[in-house]
């Protein structure tokens, strides 16, 4: 009977549109729901123009809450509404992405529900009807398998980009179920005052498909312009090691590693980064790793698919020049 309970994923809206993590979550959820023979649900708080796309990416059903109070993300109203819904529908699994929203909503929600929450999972499967959650800890040196035997829902966050959305299937349809929460649940103690977008090349590093990252070997803040230029040509974003951030060459928001961000791009190009354990912890989930470093013994080469022993300050300008030539057909 419990096997019939729904598998939930938490959609995320940015700028009035569904963010791609909403589809990635359906890709995670689809295989779990299929093994459990349970319906897969996407829960959407707030308004987005493209809700039916959730079905095309794998959802069987959408719970949609539309209310002007939900226009801006405020953690307390999000949690109150979700708590109401969880108590009403009793899902067996509830997954969100480990974005700043997911990593805020889920820890506040699970504590109020008194259930289990596992952060930053890189693997999910069903074992004997329960969710087996795999997550790295201690800088990726340990992988832990975690289960929640008794409490429901079993809650977890998964790293953004750790799974691609399913191929879009325009024939898939489903039901959008509106949910009206209590007025009191929509109230927030917080007041939204505004948003200041960051002006720099590319997407935030957590969202980037390609990251060009620099370390001490970049030798100075002005050489980071090379990384900006290369990232621009590749459609990627610029990351940095802790040393580069501490030296003031790059903003803290671009720091990759244990005391920075964990990133999972398709391609990670490490430029003049030696590869301290703490740095490797933040990027070893990348699909492909390239490294350029003058020190042939640098640990970064141990995790690189392709390493070049040489000077970034000689190699980068050449790469930029060649990429510009090869993209001459694409006008700016």
Partner 1 sequence: MSGLKKIAVLVKQVPATENVKINPETGVMMREGLSVEVNPLDLHAIEEAVRLKEKFPDILVTAVTMGPPSADKAVRYAIAMGCDEGVVLTDRAFAGSDTLATARALSAALKKLGSFDLILSGERATDGETGQVGPSVGSLLGLPVLTYVSKLSVGADKLDIERAVEGGHEKLSSPFPALAVVIKEINSPRLCTLGGKLKGRKSDIKILSFADLDIPKENVGLSGSPTKVVKVRYPQVTRKGKKLSAAEDFDGAVGELLKVLNDNRVEVNA
Q: Is 191 in the site for partner 1 (CB under 8 A)?
A: yes
Return the DSSP state at 213: E
List binders of partner 1 among 235-274 (CB under 8 A). Answer: 235-236, 251-253, 255, 258-260, 266-267, 269
Q: In this structure, are residues 69 and 188 in contact, taking their beta carbons and an 8 Å threshold?
A: yes
Q: In this structure, are residues 226 and 238 in contact, taking their beta carbons and an 8 Å threshold?
A: no
Q: Is 192 in the site for partner 1 (CB under 8 A)?
A: yes
**Contact characters 38-67, partner 1, x per CB under 8 A:** ------------------------------
Cβ contacts of 17 within 8 Å, gap of 6 or more:
48, 49, 50
The long-range contacts involving 128-137, CB below 8 angstroms and separated by at least 24 positions, are 129/2, 129/3, 129/36, 130/154, 131/32, 131/93, 131/156, 136/281
The CA distances from residue 72 to 20, 25, 142, in Å, are: 18, 21, 37
Smallest separation, CB 52 to partner 1 (Å): 23
Residue 210 forms beta bridges with which residues?
Answer: 267
Smallest separation, CB 234 to partner 1 (Å): 5
Q: Select from 34-42, 53-61, 164-172, 190-198 the region that touches partner 1 (CB under 8 A).
A: 190-198
Nearer to partner 1, 178 or 197 (CB): 197
Q: What is the DSSP string of 221-288?
A: GGGHHHHHHHHHHHT-EEEE-HHHHHTTSS-GGGBBSTTSB----SEEEEES----HHHHHHHTT-SE
**Contact characters 194-233, partner 1, x per CB under 8 A:** xxxxx----xx-xx-xx----------------------x
Tracing tokens 């995320």 back to the chain, one arrives at: 12
Nearer to partner 1, 11 or 210 (CB): 210
Q: Select from 30-38, 60-68, 173-181, 286-294 the region that touches partner 1 (CB under 8 A).
A: 286-294
Among 44, 62, 74, 226, binds partner 1 (CB under 8 A): 74
Token pair for residue 52?
Answer: 């039916």
Nearer to partner 1, 143 or 177 (CB): 143
**Contact characters 83-102, partner 1, x per CB under 8 A:** ----------------xxx-
List binders of partner 1 among 289-328 (CB under 8 A). Answer: 289-290, 292, 296, 301-311, 314-315, 318-319, 322-323, 326
The count of other CB atoms within 10 Å of the CB of residue 317 is 14
């Amino acid at each position: 009977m419990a096997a019939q309970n729904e598998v939930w994923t938490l959609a995320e809206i940015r700028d009035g549109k569904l963010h791609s993590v909403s589809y990635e979550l359906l890709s995670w959820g689809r295989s779990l729901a299929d093994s459990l023979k349970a319906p897969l649900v996407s829960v959407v708080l707030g308004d987005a123009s493209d809700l039916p796309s959730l079905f095309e990416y794998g959802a069987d059903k959408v719970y949609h809450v539309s209310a002007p109070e939900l226009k801006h993300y405020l953690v307390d109203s999000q949690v109150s509404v979700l708590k109401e819904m969880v108590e009403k529908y009793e899902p067996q699994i509830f997954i969100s992405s480990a974005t700043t929203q997911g990593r805020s909503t889920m820890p506040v929600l699970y504590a109020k529900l008194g259930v289990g929450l596992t952060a930053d999972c890189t693997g999910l499967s069903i074992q004997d009807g329960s969710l087996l959650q795999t997550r790295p800890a201690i800088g990726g040196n340990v992988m832990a398998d975690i289960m929640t035997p008794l409490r429901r829902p079993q809650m977890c966050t998964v790293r953004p980009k750790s799974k691609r959305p399913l191929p879009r299937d325009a024939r898939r349809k489903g039901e959008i179920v509106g949910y009206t929460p209590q007025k009191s649940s929509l109230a927030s103690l917080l007041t939204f005052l505004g948003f200041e977008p960051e002006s720099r090349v590319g997407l935030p590093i957590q969202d980037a498909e390609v990251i060009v990252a620099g370390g001490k070997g970049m030798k100075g803040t002005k050489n980071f312009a090379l990384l900006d230029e290369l990232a621009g040509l590749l459609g990627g974003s610029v990351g940095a090691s802790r040393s580069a951030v501490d030296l003031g060459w790059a903003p803290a928001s671009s720091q990759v590693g244990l005391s920075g961000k964990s990133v999972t791009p398709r391609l990670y190009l490490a430029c003049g980064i030696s590869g301290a354990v703490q740095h490797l912890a933040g990027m070893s989930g990348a699909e492909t790793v390239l490294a350029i470093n003058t020190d042939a013994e640098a640990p970064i080469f141990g995790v690189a698919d392709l390493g070049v022993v040489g000077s970034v300050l000689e190699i980068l300008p050449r790469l930029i020049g060649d990429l510009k030539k090869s993209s001459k057909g694409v006008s700016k």
